[in-house]
């Protein structure tokens, strides 16, 4: 495991949206560093597949399925943490709504993007902190924002607004929870080459990864001239959860290949 694992050994983490993409990479990273992990995801099939792969490697992983914007489902998810595990002191909020629309967005579209991204974020964080001590909790939360939270993009009004709200939530929650020893930060990933983005680039744009990364309007817009792998986002998330980041709270860490630098 190495020195980095020491801070996670025996600890319990909850990862929402942990069945695929960045979430699954976070689960794998935390497991590799000694964590026990509850995957909380809306997809029973993907969550079970991720759990089974990690259990086959000897890791301690359980699954709760449900809608993060349903308060009863959230309570049930936290209640499903095995009794012989330590109470969760680490939380990663990856669950989000993916709706890309401008001012023409309907009320249903706004609910589809805001309910999981903001209401779900709030309910899950609320349930998480409720199980922690009033003082010296030694706990950490990382929320997933996006480079889209920081810029304007045509046709992205719904998505960008939801991710900008994640930044505001992170700062306010950090202020509210700091007296209890709970740190709250966020990361803003750039484009990540996950299953969804691969499918979009191949099926809609007709581009494989190499071609997409070579295109100025795709991979070329990042200083590093490429997309991220999910594991490259999971690593800084693990850092922010760790005791190495014990004096960091209320901030957003761009993990964006230099996109926001120019």
**Of the candidate ranges 16-25, 94-103, 196-205, the one whose mean pLDDT is the lowest:** 196-205
DSSP H/E element including 22: helix 21-32
Cα(205)–Cα(236) distance, integer angstroms = 30
CB 47 within 8 A of CB 65: yes
Residue 7 is predicted with a pLDDT of: 66
- What mean pLDDT, rounded, does the chain reach? 96
pTM: 0.95
Q: Do 101 and 218 belong to one domain?
A: no
Query: Nearest 5°: phi and psi at 183?
Result: -90, 145
Question: Do 119 and 155 belong together in one domain?
Answer: yes
Give the residue numbers annotated as catalytic, written as ranges. Answer: 159
Q: What is the pLDDT of residues 120-167, one digit of tens each?
A: 999 999 999 999 999 999 999 999 999 999 999 999 999 999 999 999
Is 262 a domain residue?
Answer: no
Q: Residues 199, 173: one domain? A: no
Report pLDDT for 151.
97
The verdict on residue 206 lying in a domain is: yes
The single residue listed with the structure tokens 């230099």 is 258
Least confident among 2-6, 45-49, 83-87, 242-246: 2-6
Q: For 104-212, where are the E strands, in sequence order?
A: 139-144, 182-189
- pLDDT tens column, 102-119: 999 999 999 999 999 999
pLDDT digits (tens, 9 = 90+) for 197-227: 899 899 999 999 999 999 999 999 999 999 9
Within-domain flag for 58: yes
- 218, 173 contact by CB (below 8 A): no
Domain that holds residue 44: 3-192+229-254
Are 141 and 216 contacting, i.e. CB atoms less than 8 angstroms apart? Answer: no
Residues 202 and 234 in one domain: no
Q: What is the mean pLDDT of residues 64-82?
A: 98
Question: For residues 185 and 173, what is the distance between their CA atoms, to the nearest angstrom?
Answer: 9
Same domain, 71 and 113: yes
Compute the C-alpha angle 22/23/26, nearest 5°: 85
For residues 47 and 3, the model is more confident at: 47
Kindly tell me the number of DSSP H helices and DSSP E strands found in the chain: 9, 7
Return the pLDDT at 5. 43
List the structure tokens of 189: 């990933």
Q: What share of the chain is helix, strand, coil (3-state, %, to 5)?
A: 50, 15, 35
* Banded model confidence at residue 2, pLDDT cuts 50, 70, 90: very low
pLDDT for position 196: 87
- Please check whether residue 234 lies inside any domain of the structure: yes
pLDDT, position 172: 98
Is pLDDT above 90 for 179?
Answer: yes
Average pLDDT over residues 58-87: 98
Same domain, 59 and 125: yes
Q: How far apart are CA 75 and CA 128, in angstroms?
A: 9
pLDDT surpasses 60 at 184: yes
């Amino acid at each position: 495991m190495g020195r980095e694992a020491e801070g996670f050994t025996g600890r319990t983490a909850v990862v929402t949206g942990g069945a695929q993409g960045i979430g699954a990479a976070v689960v794998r990273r935390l497991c590799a560093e000694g964590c026990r992990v509850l995957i909380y995801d809306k997809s029973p099939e993907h969550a079970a597949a991720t759990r089974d792969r990690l259990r086959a490697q000897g890791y301690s992983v359980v699954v709760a399925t449900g809608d993060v914007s349903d308060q009863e489902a959230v309570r049930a998810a936290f209640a499903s943490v095995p009794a012989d595990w330590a109470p969760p002191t680490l939380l990663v909020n990856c669950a989000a709504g993916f709706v890309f629309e401008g001012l023409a967005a309907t009320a249903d579209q706004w609910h589809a993007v805001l309910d999981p991204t903001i209401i779900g974020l709030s309910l899950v964080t609320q349930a998480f902190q409720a199980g922690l001590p009033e003082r010296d909790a030694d706990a950490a939360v990382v929320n997933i924002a996006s480079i889209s939270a920081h810029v304007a993009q045509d046709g992205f009004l719904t998505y960008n607004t939801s991710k900008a709200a994640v930044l505001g939530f992170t700062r306010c929650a950090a202020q509210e929870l700091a007296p209890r020893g709970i740190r709250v930060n966020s990361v803003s990933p750039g484009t990540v080459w996950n299953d969804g983005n691969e499918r979009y680039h191949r099926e809609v744009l007709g581009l494989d990864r190499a071609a997409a990364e070579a295109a100025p309007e795709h991979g070329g817009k990042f200083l590093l001239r490429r997309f991220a792998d999910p594991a490259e986002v999971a690593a800084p998330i693990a850092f922010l959860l760790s005791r190495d980041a014990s004096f960091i709270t209320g901030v957003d860490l761009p993990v964006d290949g230099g996109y926001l630098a120019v």
